[in-house]
Amino acid sequence: MSEQQQSLAVNSMISGGKDLPGFHNLLGYRQVAWEDGRAVIELEIQPQHLNLAGVIHGGVLTSLLDVALAEAGTYCPYPGRMRKAITLSLTTTFTGQCTGGVIQVTGIKRAGGRRIFNSTGEVRDQNGNLLAIAEGTFRLRSGSENPEGMPL
């Protein structure tokens, strides 16, 4: 199987938060792209994602950035396997607001070693307006150091 075919197999296995347990499911995002060093997720904003002012809640934006930035450093090209990371630090800066539509979150791995990596990312609304930016440091969990990762 070619690397591109493996990538497509992994992307078809996990389509987003609805395929994962707990908080990922609650967020309700979907995977748009996932490759070595880069992850993209989208969220169709629902009423439960809004704050009391009627705009997307900063906690939702931060949570989505946390997911995308961690994914940027945990891509696993092997079907039926995955890599996991924990967040060591995450800094988010909010730059805009939106009340509905679809937002896109992109995470890019910038640097890293065997266990620790850094990623940056951004959130844009469907019109391309920047809503938030973030920088994070993550640690790969035991068993996730190698590209083969661990069984799902």
What pTM did the predictor assign?
A: 0.88
- Please write the tens of the pLDDT for every residue from 49-73: 999 999 999 999 999 999 999 999 9
In total, how many domains does the chain have? 1
Opening angle at CA 104, ends 52 and 141, nearest 5: 95
Q: Tell me 22's DSSP state.
A: T
User: Which CATH number goes with the domain that contains 97?
Assistant: 3.10.129.10
Dihedral of alpha carbons 136, 137, 143, 149, sign? positive
User: 146: Cβ–Cβ under 8 A, 6 or more apart, which residues?
Assistant: none
pLDDT at residue number 12: 44
pLDDT at residue number 6: 41
Domain range for residue 106? 3-151
Q: Classify 126 as helix, strand or coil.
A: coil
